[in-house]
Structure 1
């Protein structure tokens, strides 16, 4: 593949998706359907002749396992892999691990919808002694405490994600590398919103399917310009 390409993909269906939970940074694995979605995505990319120079994912096993399925199907398990907390899902604070329907019954649909999709609305924070506080997880021990979220809105998630785009992903693309990035729904909204110049209202309402590669073709500078889904799923983005 001569072109420089960026493929963004949300992980396959997780156990949290399957159980209708607020998952966030909670480290749940893929469901049986999610494993199959990941394998199918890798096979689809192989059939389209995709070759990558490096792969990126979050620190959570649902993206790591999705990535490994894809690389196995692509016959590119040898690729360099990079994992970053900046690609983690939005931290849902004290909502993490709760069933969405139960949360609606307790707080009301309007309030829960604001927590889920309000651009700058932050859910209740986790306490410092909570198992959901990243400071209590050894994988984040090297991250400054001031950077560790106790809850995030879409706006603060974007502020966390965009430095990884600017400092890591974009320079690699501009060097002519093609990248596979496996991440999460809210991170996809942040990246697509930035790449496509969407206003916050459009970005927050994007519906991102699991296990569906979104392909950006790059211009002569390596900057992604045009996006298309690799199958018939509609990601509802602007050109």
Structure 2
């Protein structure tokens, strides 16, 4: 199998477990997150997938997930490229707060608006639109050329940075991408045409692990 692009959201992090807005903060994986990453590696190996190049963010939950996946697949370790363009959406002043704390400070309606709006950033943070403005150009300049050359590429990143990329790949509207949920450590396997259009997409998902929306 060649010419595959696989996107994987990191396994459950310590702050996911506590329902805390994480963003560009840097907690590691929980024990459950480690197990999820192992599962992702094994299911990708079962698909017969090996990777020529790997991309990840500068945050250790995504890096750790990638390391585990590649270790489970085995064989030659691909080139790994880390870049902050793939970091999670910056939640600004929401970072480090759980949902209850955020609601007490700003009100439930406002917090919900920040979480689910495409272009409204929280104080000092990024909207999904802002995140897309760094993720999508990075994909076109650095990731797509490898896929176009017939390589298998894996990207281990975050709920919102991957949403921004999926929005571009699948040509989704701002509302459609807000309704899209990504399970932790559930590989999204794409086969792309020579023009970069999606020819095939499959989600390899467990029965649990749906998105908390908190990074």
TM tier, shorter chain?
over 0.9
Structure 1 residue 221, shift from structure 2 partner: 4.9
Matches within 5 A, 1:74-85: 74-76=73-75, 78-85=77-84
> 2:88 aligns to what?
89
> 1:66 aligns to what?
65
Q: Distance in 2 between matches of 1:77 and 1:57?
A: 18
Q: Distance in 1 between matches of 2:146 and 2:65?
A: 22
- The one of 165, 168, 172 aligned to 1:194: 168
- Deviation string 1:77-131 (CA, Å, 9 cap, x unpaired) is 6211000100000000111111112211332211001111111101111xxxxxx
> 1:41 aligns to what?
40
> 1:14 aligns to what?
13
How many residue pairs get aligned? The number is: 209
Q: Distance in 1 between matches of 2:89 and 2:179?
A: 15
SS at match of 1:177: coil
**How large is the RMSD of aligned CA atoms in angstroms?**
1.6
Q: Distance in 1 between matches of 2:191 and 2:207?
A: 18
- Structure number with greater Rg is 1
- What TM-score, normalized to structure 1? 0.83
> 2:179 aligns to what?
205
Contact persistence 1:54–1:178 (CA under 8 A): yes
Instruction: Tell me: CA distance 1:212–1:164, structure 2 relative to 1, closer, same or farther (3 Å).
Output: same
Q: In structure 1, list runs of 5 or more residues that go unmatched.
A: 126-150
> 2:149 aligns to what?
175
SS at match of 1:201: helix
Q: In structure 2, list runs of 5 or more residues that go unmatched.
A: 211-215
- Deviation string 1:120-147 (CA, Å, 9 cap, x unpaired) is 101111xxxxxxxxxxxxxxxxxxxxxx
Contact persistence 1:21–1:97 (CA under 8 A): yes
> 1:166 aligns to what?
140
Q: Distance in 2 between matches of 1:67 and 1:36?
A: 13
